[in-house]
Each structure stands twice: as C-alpha cells, then as structure tokens.
C-alpha cells in the first residue's frame, strides 16, 4: 500500500545545509522505534535492492553506529557516526560515508506529533563546506532517503510490532 506522503529535500544553492521533511501515517513512538530497534532499522534504511549489514548500533546518547549497504553486485558502501542525543523528540548524530572520509555532517532530526496519530520528521543536516553538501546531494542521497522512507511506510502500515 503506497503512501501519499512525499519526501522533500531542500538544498539551497551556496549553503552548507540541507533539510529533509517527511510525514508518516503512524504515531511518533512507532516512528522513533523504527530508528532505534536494530531489527526494524535494517528493514527500511536505504534504497531498494540493498542488503543492510549492521555492524555496530548503539542508539543511545554517546553511542556509535556503523553499517554497510551491499548491492546486488556485491559492492559495499559503509557509513558510520556517533549518536549525540537520542530522545523521542530529537535525534542528533554525525554521519560519514566511508567512500568520502573526513567529510562529516551533523544531522538533527525532530519527530513532531501531528493530529490523527501522524508524525512529521524533519532532518537538518549541516556540512563542513558547501562542496561537501553538494557532493552528498549529487551522490544520489535523495533517492536513498526517499526509497528508505517508502520502505518505512510499508513497515509502519503493518504497525511494526506485529512483524517484529
């Protein structure tokens, strides 16, 4: 069942930041759970057709993460970072792509309760330079985020808990 919710990525020219917004037809607690439960996280994060290997996942303030996305051809793409704050309202973390080392972003995600048991996710990513931000945008990040959130919609439609 496809959702009518659309992922919006706003990356204004010449700025070191970008914004991602997305609404979900699920309560904030379930959207949050999908971000901190490793069994759920591997089922939705990233584009279609990629296997996710979660090597380290400590979704608490001060915890670390590392995962690898593996495509059908066996190519691997690794990502890692540190969780700085993890709460129902706000998640702050660093994000670094292994293929572009030293280019770290700081991502702040807020989960806002909406009427009708819905949730709005807003991510504000700040990069070290405009070229770093432009590089991530040109890398296909938007497709991966959009497809990951479509996959999350499918899981949330099953109410997470039933399939967990």
From 148, 164, 158, select the one nearest 25 (Cα to Cα): 158
State pLDDT tens for residues 36-79: 999 999 999 999 999 999 999 999 999 999 999 999 999 999 99
Does domain 17-46+87-157 fall into CATH 3.30.530.20? yes
Q: How far is CA 34 from CA 11, 14, 140, 157, in A?
A: 26, 33, 23, 12
- pTM (2 d.p.): 0.90
State pLDDT tens for residues 85-132: 999 999 999 999 998 888 899 999 999 999 999 999 999 999 999 999
Which pLDDT score is estimated for 159? 61
Average pLDDT of the chain, as a whole number: 92
The domain limits of the chain are 17-46+87-157
From 29, 32, 25, select the one nearest 150 (Cα to Cα): 25
Q: 138: pLDDT confidence band, cut at 50, 70 and 90?
A: confident
The answer to whether residue 136 scores a pLDDT higher than 90 is no
Q: What is the mean pLDDT of residues 16-34?
A: 97
Q: How far apart are CA 54 and CA 38, in angstroms?
A: 8
């Amino acid at each position: 069942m496809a959702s009518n919710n659309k992922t919006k990525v706003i990356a204004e020219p010449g700025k070191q930041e970008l914004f991602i917004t997305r609404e979900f037809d699920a309560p904030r607690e379930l959207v949050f759970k999908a971000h901190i439960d490793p069994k759920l996280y591997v089922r939705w994060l990233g584009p279609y057709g990629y296997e996710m290997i979660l090597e380290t996942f400590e979704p608490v303030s001060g915890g670390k993460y590392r995962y690898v996305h593996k495509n059908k051809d066996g190519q691997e793409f690794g990502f890692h970072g540190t969780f700085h704050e993890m709460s129902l309202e706000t998640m702050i973390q660093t994000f670094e792509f292994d293929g572009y080392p030293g280019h770290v972003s700081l991502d702040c995600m807020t989960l806002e309760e909406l009427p009708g048991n819905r949730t709005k996710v807003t991510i504000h990513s700040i990069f070290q330079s405009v070229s770093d931000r432009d590089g991530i945008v040109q890398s296909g990040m938007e497709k991966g985020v959009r497809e990951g959130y479509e996959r999350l919609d499918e899981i949330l439609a099953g109410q997470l808990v039933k399939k967990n």
